[in-house]
Amino acid sequence: MFLYLRSKALKPEAKRQSDAIESKVVAWRRDFHQHPELSNREFRTAEKVAAHLKSLGMEVRTGVAHTGVVGILRGGKPGPVVGLRADMDALPVVERGDLPFKSTATSTYNGAEVGVMHACGHDAHVAVMMGVAEVLSGMQDRLAGTVVFIFQPAEEGPPEGEQGGAELMMKEGVLYNPKIEALFGMHINSQTEVGKIKYRAGGMMAASDWFFITVHGKQSHGSQPWNGIDPIVVSSQIIQGLQTIVSRQVDLTEQPAVVTVGKIESGVRANIIPEKAEMVGTIRTLDTAMQRQIHERLIRTATMIAESAGARAEVRIENKTPVTYNDPALTARSLPSLREAAGEENVIEQKPRTGAEDFGFFAQKVPALYFYLGGMPKGKNPDEAAAHHTPDFYIDESGLTLGVRAFCYLVLDYLEGK
């Protein structure tokens, strides 16, 4: 009963402080938005985050997984260790809006000059988490446990030839010093109305695998295709075959799945049948058994179709990110905290999403909860809101305070054993 009363007493204070620093959180978000940085290049962002955490008296570690920052807030009383994660990187996208803090930044991405934009909302994630750090540090002596703030680089994927993101942070031991018992993360969502939170127990977001298929044929003159083996025609047949994996070979009543070919390259001239064709695509699954099935069927489909035409197909599959899995017990335990923060009617269970998040690496090792925070203006049609990773991506900043409050409530309740 004493623990419950202590948590109950701290949450009104957390709400007041969350409301009081709203303008600071918005200012931080706008600053990061105007100065976006690509994966593994978040130098300015990391510097500002580290300076803020140090100003709050935290133990701060920098250079984690290249540019990551970890802040440790040790409460005045013993208790559990809770982790909070925010990702920091932007995307190679040119911003098209007319915001006064619009990004005009440019950088180099895989050897090409590109515009840079926070087209996924990670600027908001960093700002919200800085706000949470400020609120909770103000009640440090009354916290019964430890809070680890994880500011992660390269969620969107490191540049070619580099390691990064959650996977590298894991390799460097971010979950174990101190050992985190439960981890919380969130993503702002441009198609969820401000003031609302969406969640799902179990598979929240999909595993993302990339596949690479090289079809080896036989080169010939374009006027005499019978003298060669056309890898372009074979590739088109493989693409059609891959579509039947999801539509005809796996049980979609269990979980959704996607197989997409996003790139195909072959040939140099109109009248030359080339020697090979290469295609690249993605597989999205929410269940490991289905993931294995699709991998096996994709390899079989590509190789057999190629063989039937006298060609040869080489298939390689890379596991990029695992399923973002919300621990059912932790989800059930956390729902009262989210409902208290947002209002019961504003916490909504959602269907699984086929987008991917490298938060899933953390969720493989520690009970975790990942949720969506509304960032769409009230009354707007979600079908008309610009999607993530697009030049017109937009979020309503009035939803950021709820993010601060929700994280604070999750931490306070968990530390007090609720």
Catalytic residue numbers? Answer: 89, 155
Q: Look at strands 112-115 and 106-109 and give their pairing.
A: antiparallel
Residue 96: exposure state from Cβ atoms within 10 A (0-12, 13-18, ≥19): middle
* 149, 71 contact by CB (below 8 A): yes
Token pair listed for 215: 């079809």
Residue 178: asked if its preceding bond is cis (omega within 30°), the reply is yes
For the chain, what is the HEC assignment? CHHHHHHHHHHHHHHHHHHHCHHHHHHHHHHHHHCCCCCCCCHHHHHHHHHHHHHCCCEEEEEECCCEEEEEEECCEEEEEEEEEEECCCECCCCCCCCCCCCCCEEEECCEEEECECCCCHHHHHHHHHHHHHHHHCCHHHCEEEEEEEEECCCCCCCCCCCCHHHHHHHCCCCECCECCEEEEEEEEEEEECCCEEECCEEEECEEEEEEEEEECECEECCCHHHCECHHHHHHHHHHHHHHHHHHHCCCCCCCEEEEEEEEEECCCCCEECCEEEEEEEEEECCHHHHHHHHHHHHHHHHHHHHHCCCEEEEEEEEEECCEEECHHHHHHHHHHHHHHHCHHHEEECCCECCCCCHHHHHCCCCEEEEEEEEECCCCCHHHCCCCCCCCCCCCHHHHHHHHHHHHHHHHHHHCCC
Calpha distance 199→196 (Å, rounded): 10
Please identify which residue in the block is written with the tokens 């127990």: 201
Residue 345: burial class (beta carbons within 10 Å; 0-12, 13-18, 19+)? exposed
